[in-house]
């Protein structure tokens, strides 16, 4: 898979760890910035990664800011983006499997490099199970979320 990576200044110190973990898992990492710890706005990088997914340039994204919260909120404002903060392995794979999560958000001031490697690996190895026999409930639930987006969103 092609994975878009974006961070603000607070997430920047962990960005290379994420890129390395993506590559170690056998995927291509596309770096959408930022390139330093100089102050920038997280929403700009959430948008860049979200647009890359919307336009089909990448299959998934990983975003970093200080807490993971701001960049997650920004990404979720975009149609078709299912972003969540995951600071544990279970949420990282379950979010993909059951909820169709396509963007992993991480807090650079919350979590360290070793857990990030495992979380990124779990996120990338997971697949949505909603189309599997006996798992249709997940597709139904994600469909309801998409309907809300269509009716209420941008």
Just list the catalytic residues: 65, 98
Residue 146 phi, psi (nearest 5): -65, -35
Do 52 and 33 meet the contact criterion of CB atoms below 8 Å apart? no
- Lookup: tokens for 27: 């995927």
Evaluate whether 56 touches 153 at the Cβ level (below 8 Å). Answer: no
Angstrom distance (rounded) from CA 53 to CA 116: 22
Cβ atoms of 57 and 30 closer than 8 Å: yes
Among 52, 61, 65, smallest CA distance to 11 is for: 65
């Amino acid at each position: 898979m092609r994975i878009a990576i974006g961070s603000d200044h607070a997430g920047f110190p962990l960005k290379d760890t994420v890129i390395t973990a993506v590559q170690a898992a056998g995927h291509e990492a596309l770096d959408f910035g930022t390139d330093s710890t100089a102050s920038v706005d997280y929403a700009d990088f959430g948008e860049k990664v979200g647009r890359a997914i919307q336009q089909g340039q990448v299959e998934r994204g990983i975003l970093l800011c200080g807490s993971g919260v701001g960049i997650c909120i920004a990404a979720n404002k975009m149609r078709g983006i299912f972003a969540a903060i995951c600071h544990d392995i279970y949420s990282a794979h379950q979010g993909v499997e059951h909820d169709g999560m396509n963007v992993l958000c991480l807090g650079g001031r919350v979590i360290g490099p070793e857990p990030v490697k495992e979380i990124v690996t779990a996120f990338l190895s997971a697949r949505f199970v909603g189309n599997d026999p006996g798992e249709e409930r997940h597709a139904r639930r994600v469909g309801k979320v998409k309907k809300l987006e269509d009716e209420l969103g941008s």
